[in-house]
Structure 1
Amino acid sequence: MKARTALLLTCLGFIPMTATTQETDSKTAPRQVTDRIIVKYHPKPTEGNAMAFIKQGVSYGSFGVAAGKDKDILEIGSSLNINDVQILADGLEDDPQIAFAEPDYIMQIMRVPNDSRYNEQWHYFESTAGSNLPAAWNITTGNNVVVGVIDTGIVYHKDLDGNIVSGYDFISQSWMANDGDGRDSNATDSGDAITTAGACGSANGKPVPSSPTESSWHGTHVSGTIAAESNNGSGVAGVAWNAKVMPLRALGRCGGYTSDIIDAMRWAAGLDVYGMTRNNNPVKVINMSLGGYSYGCPRSYQSAINEVVAAGVTVVVAAGNGSTRATYATPANCENVITVGSVNRSGNRSWYSNFGRHVDISAPGGETRYYQDGVLSTANAGTTSATQDNYEYHQGTSMAAPHVAGVAALIYSINPQITPARVEEIIKLNARPFSGGSCNTRLCGAGILDAGAAVLDARDE
């Protein structure tokens, strides 16, 4: 049993709450336009210089200095892309009468979904640690993008079912699958409850896990953050609510083998997997809220990740919940992935989150010392097998990662030809700076995820 469990990876999911716990979407979508320029004059322009510029034909018109105007509105005559209008405005500033000229931007209301529990999803909108999603939703909500979720599979949920596409169960061992068989096309989560201590073998003479656990419904919670059905008047919202989730079941009772996870990655990306028909509906993003301990990325993992990324797929992984350096967590320590750490509602590093140079960015993963400070998403009420769908607050880098995966989906929806390397660059360059406290760029990555800034940058490439 020891040899077997050494190969297992476990989901990085929520940290169980116990008494000891510390607590229109395409590249052709309308771009920002305007048909006017605001012209601001100097209070006392140099009349001699102004006349000289006019005689030389440099001035772009007489903008009413003699009439004593403070500013003017220049009508262009037709709506132009904001970048083109900016070029015109820059040219106007050659006139010494003009202090500055700039596009007369057309402002919009921030798009906010009407889901009944959206106001509890602080991790989407609060200014301190939220992901600034309303600004992104003004541009895109994720159409035409599929996100692969390598996790425990998924159970039916009224707030999620409409955004699920066919996936696959990659768990090769029936005892781990807990559904009576091995691999098949049914990615339903049959539960990962451990009813007997020591059922997963032992390590250092101690049972793994040391006590029974209830089913986590981990994949359902992660999937809801990515793409819960939204703006439907009930439940919660998803980050990319018009994207689709492809459930790829690779974690079951006691975790999941690296070999199964690698096959799930490759198949999701449309690559060949021995004994399987190629997936003709490849994903653009893979979320892996899972991990194990390994000093250095295993070669099998790195090879698969490199192939998947070369196929045009962005891979997002959780940094891990060990409150240690991500160097010791895999696949968080692999190259060519976006490794996500967790911040709490105050914008500080969540007490459990791994940290260090392998962390690329932080996103809200919460802390459930107070329930409402966790991440709210779709779940199930069953303790062992699925019963009634519900909503739960969880904490973990597993909850942070799908925020980033969802934003990657938003970027692909607005810029389908973008590369994974550029997606990562945009997300990191547009991160919101840490406000101090327990996070800085050495520990927690480039900053806190800012969906609005990232999507805007992707759109305006």
Structure 2
Amino acid sequence: MKLLLTRTVLAATLFIPAFILQAEVDNYRLLLQRTDQVIVHFKEKPTEARALAFIKQGVTHGGYGVAAGKRQEVLEIGATLDIEDVKVLAEGLEDDPQVEFAEPDLLMQTMKVPNDPLYNEQWHYFEFKAGMNLPPAWDISVGSSKNVIAILDTGITEHSEISSRVLFGYDMIADPWMANDGDGVDNDPRDPGDSLQPGACGKSFGNPIPANVRKSSWHGTHVAGTIAANTNDNKGLSGVTWYDRVLIVRVLGRCGGYTSWIADGIRWAAGLPVYGLPINPNPANVINLSLGGTSLVCSQTYQDAIDEVVAAGVTVVVAAGNEQRNVALTTPANCKNVITVGAINRSGNRSWYSNYGTGIDIMAPGGETHFPGNGILSLYNSGLKSPLAESRKELQGTSMAAPHISGLIALSYEVNPNLTPAERKKILKETARPFASDSNCSTFRCGAGIADAGSFLRAVQNTQ
């Protein structure tokens, strides 16, 4: 006869050792949620009659073993129950004098880990101190080709590790010199390079910008790689999403890009009408803005565009900026209805360059490159001025932190497409991993905590 446990049983209290954070326990639960068996360890040399009598009390014998000279039985419950309920049952079995201890027979599973050879160098995906805890999240969702993340940036270069996932959007740069491609607005968002000579961008407050020769940044390619580099293909590195597509909207050229171009890009990416342009046939679920500039307030142009796309169900993710100052001085990071992302380093502290303040919503890996292996590894190009061969490189910045969040938010659209951007932001902050007690971050300076992909997607899953 099998023992059937009714749903009136009380949940057991889970004891969490002081050195284990609640977030770790929550992530572990993702894989250990239910079981239909209990392991019972008898005390040494139980009488055969008493052991058999115990088994006949109402459970089914499922196995036999010996551990440290003691009998071990596997008992089938007769129903698949939550772990906390099975713990209550096991504690009841321990009341028998023949039993030394009883515990749930936990069902173990593998966690999805990409087979890409450089994945182990992408600490920002899996290390506990500062990583995104992506493996348990990937057990819930690896994304879908139906989902689209728009990257408003410098455009993209050809790269075999992402080319199959790219949707070519638009080049919004109206100035031919800044575009560096011989024309203005067009439907070719490829990155021709943004290298500069000293003083090329004029003067600001009497100082040439930039002070030195700058090589092409290939910024958009790097951002795109974090979001959507081909994953689990036994080649190169991994992206946050395994199947989502990236829509490339070029808004930054030599010396940057104007607010008007970026606002048009935001609307166009979301499938909203923009004068003179065709409607985007692949509207985005998520828009990544790894860009910004100095402003005491969010401009009305930015805010109107952001509000319009958010009302359409699109989540906007913005880099906090790298000026080591209060994020309130950087836009569009200081706009409303966006997710503003600051950067942490590999030790889980705020990266030295990252902006800070109460305007930060969440922290994500941005790295620091002064020590090899501590930056964010993603796709790149070997060209100094114009594109040459595809490559990979470590960079640092809140620009590198934001795409981690954009990719994670995109995964949440596959898990639950019905949440609003505000609801996704709320859950992201509620499931954040707390800062360590010795961290240079606090909720006042660095937002809700470090983004935890596993906890976030589990919570999104539970809202259905």
Cα separation, 2, equivalents of 1:434 and 1:171: 40
CA gap of 1:97–1:315, structure 2 versus 1, over 3 A, is same
SS of 2:425's equivalent in the other structure is: helix
Q: Cα deviation per residue 1:331-374 (whole Å; 9 max; x = unaligned)?
A: 11111111000011111110000000000010110001012110
Task: Check 1:63–1:225 CA distance in 2 against 1; reply closer, same or farther (3 A cut).
Answer: same
- CA deviations on 1:199-234 (whole Å, 9 max, x unpaired) are 212112222222221100000000000010011112
Cα offset, 1:102, TM superposition: 9.5
Spell out, residue by residue over 1:85-132, the C-alpha distance to the aligned partner (whole angstroms, 9 max, x if none): 439948987x97788999865321121111111111111111111111
User: So what's the TM-score if we normalise by structure 1?
Assistant: 0.81
Amino acid at match of 1:438: N
The letter of the residue matching 2:372 is Y
Match in the other structure for 2:36: 36
Aligned to 1:166: 168
- 1:16 aligns with none
**Distance in 1 between the 2:88 and 2:435 partners?**
38
Q: Is the 8 A contact 1:317 1:339 kept in 2?
A: yes
For 1:193, what is the secondary structure of its paired residue? coil
Aligned mates of 2:180, 2:270 — CA distance in 1: 26
Structure 2 counterpart of 1:55:
none
**Do 1:37 and 1:89's aligned partners in 2 also have CA atoms closer than 8 Å?**
no
- Counterpart Cα distance in 2 of 1:72 and 1:392: 52
Gaps of 5+ in 1: 1-30, 44-60
Instruction: Provide the identity percentage.
Output: 50
Superposition map of 1:419-438 within 5 A: 419-435=420-436, 436-438=438-440
Q: Give the whole-Å Cα distance in 2 for the aligned partners of 1:215 and 1:445.
A: 32
Contact 2:433–2:452 under 8 Å retained in 1: yes
Instruction: In structure 2, list runs of 5 or more residues that go unmatched.
Output: 1-30, 44-56, 61-70, 96-100
Matched residue, 1:86? 82
Structure 1 residue 138, shift from structure 2 partner: 1.5
Q: Note if 1:455 corresponds to 2:460.
A: no
One-letter amino acid of the counterpart of residue 342, structure 1: A
Task: Determine whether 1:390 maps to 2:391.
Answer: yes
- What does residue 193 of structure 2 align with? 191
Give 1:415 deviation, angstroms. Answer: 1.3
Task: Give matches, 1:92-241, under 5 Å.
Answer: 106-143=107-144, 144-195=146-197, 197-241=198-242
Once residues 290 and 401 of structure 2 are traced to their aligned partners in structure 1, the CA distance between those partners, rounded to angstroms, is 9
In the alignment, residue 345 of structure 1 is paired with which amino acid?
R
Correspondence for 2:448: 446
Question: What is aligned with 2:53?
Answer: none
Is the 1:92–1:101 Cα contact (8 Å) retained in structure 2? no
Q: Is the 8 A contact 2:35 2:83 kept in 1?
A: no
Q: Is the 8 A contact 1:147 1:283 kept in 2?
A: yes
Give the conservation status (yes or no) of the 8 Å contact 1:147–1:285. Answer: yes
Give 1:86's aligned amino acid: D
Per the normalisation by structure 2, the TM-score is 0.81
Go from structure 1 to structure 2 and tell me whether the alpha carbon gap of 1:335 and 1:70 turns closer, same or farther (over 3 Å shift): farther
1:411-455: CA deviations, max 9, x gaps? 111112221111111211111111132111111111111111111
The 3-state SS of whatever aligns with 2:168 is coil
Q: Deviations over 1:372-410 (max 9, x none)?
A: 110000000000000001000000000011111111011
Higher RCO (C-alpha under 8 Å, 6+ residues apart): 1
Q: Are 1:152 and 1:189, in contact at CA under 8 Å, matched by a contact in 2?
A: yes
Letter matched to residue 332 of structure 1: A
Amino acid at match of 1:354: N
Question: How many angstroms does 1:241 deviate by?
Answer: 2.1
Partners of 2:268 and 2:280 within 8 A in 1? yes
Residue 460 of structure 1: how far off its partner (Å):
2.3
Q: How many residues align?
A: 405
Distance 1:219 1:88 in 2: 47
Aligned pairs (5 A) from 1:61-76: 62=58, 73-76=75-78
CA contact (8 A) 2:143 2:242 kept: yes
Q: Which runs of 4+ in 1 moved over 6 A?
A: 69-72, 90-93, 95-103
C-alpha distance in 1 between matches for 2:230 and 2:37: 40
Whole-angstrom CA distance in 1 between matches of 2:365 and 2:355: 14
Tell me which amino acid in the other structure corresponds to 1:255: G
The structural deviation recorded for 1:71 is 8.7
Q: For residues 128 and 92 of structure 1, do their structure 2 counterparts lie closer, same or farther at Cα, with a shift above 3 Å needed?
A: closer
Q: What CA distance in whole angstroms lies between the structure 2 residues aligned with 1:257 and 1:102?
A: 62
Please say which of residues 112-121 and 316-325 is displaced more in the overlay.
112-121
Residue type at the aligned position of 1:216: S
Segment of structure 1 superposing worse, 125-134 or 373-382? 125-134
Q: How has the CA–CA distance of structure 1 residues 124 and 35 changed in structure 2, closer, same or farther, with 3 Å as cutoff?
A: closer
C-alpha distance in structure 2 between counterparts of 1:190 and 1:70, whole Å: 68
- Cα RMSD (Å): 2.9
